[in-house]
Amino acid sequence: MNFKNKVVLVTGSSRGIGRSIAIKFAQKNANVVINYNHNSQEANIVKEIIESYGVKCLTIKADVSKEKEVEAMIEKVIEEFGKIDVLINNAGIAIDVDFEDRKVEHWTQTLNTNLIGVFLTSKYAGKHMTQNKKGKIINISSTNGIDTTSTYSLDYDASKSGIINLTKNLASHFSPYINVNAVAPGWVDTDMNRELPKDYLKAETAKILLRRFAEPEEIANVVLFLASEEARYINAETIRVDGGLH
């Protein structure tokens, strides 16, 4: 797989899975746009890594839940590169609280970022892809969107389930020019997950047939495949990457 001269926008790519996806595309010669909302320092670190591969990198601060910021971000990418070849909708949040303590504000914040954010970025990037009659959109969902896991994350689970449904609708809307697919990771070894209680992590690891969490790069590899020409006939699908979660 070679993405030379391709322009790839990865939302929420200053850390975690998004960071690994952005770097992996740079390793395959793509020009990369890093989107972040809070941590400019981490975004700039990723930018330095990406540019070390001899490709161009642009960092853009934007809250994907806010339409004007998303529209401005896409226009900035077009102004800089003239096109968007691949959009990775990775930005997402999770707010874990007890069911009785969960408020409408938690739902609103989670759905606005995780689900409406995917719609907004796809809407504005998809417009330019349609004009070029070519493009790939890959949405990062979760096995939480397929299997109910805990009421601690019911709004997160609902948002990730919504992404799977939205993926199919977007594929239909943007046909025949844009492939839209989703990846549903299970547990991934990220900084955020390492902060969970050790007993809980041990119990969750025991549910995975491979007996370990995924490395972020293992999710990125699947994303790259879906963005490549090798996957040009895969459309409106969701691929689980969970090590055999049961």
Q: What residues contact 193, with CB distance under 8 A and at least 6 apart?
A: 187, 201, 213
* 222, pLDDT greater than 80: yes
The predicted pLDDT at position 191 comes to 81
pLDDT at residue 202, rounded to an integer: 95
pTM: 0.97
pLDDT at 246: 81
pLDDT one-digit tens code per residue, 89-125 = 999 999 988 999 999 999 999 999 999 999 999 999 9
Domains in the chain (CATH in brackets) are: 7-241 (3.40.50.720)
Using pLDDT thresholds of 50, 70 and 90, give the confidence band for residue 196.
confident
Q: How many Å apart are CA 124 and CA 39, to the nearest integer?
A: 24
CA distances for 224 relative to 88, 89, 95, 120, 216, angstroms: 10, 13, 28, 22, 13
- 192 pLDDT higher than 90: no
For 162-180, the pLDDT digits (tens) are 999 999 999 999 999 999 9
Confidence (pLDDT) at 159: 97
- DSSP-derived letter for residue 188 is B
The least confident of 12-16, 61-65, 147-151, 183-187 is 147-151
Has residue 150 got a pLDDT over 80? no
Kindly state the average pLDDT of the residues 196-207: 93
Residue 156 appears among annotated catalytic residues? yes
Is the predicted pLDDT of residue 35 greater than 90, yes or no?
A: yes
**Catalytic residue of the set 156, 177, 200, 233:** 156
Q: Kindly state the DSSP code that residue 215 receives in the 8-state scheme.
A: P
> Which pLDDT value is given to residue 146?
95
> Residue 193 — pLDDT band, cuts 50, 70, 90?
confident
What is residue 27's predicted lDDT score, i.e. its pLDDT?
A: 98
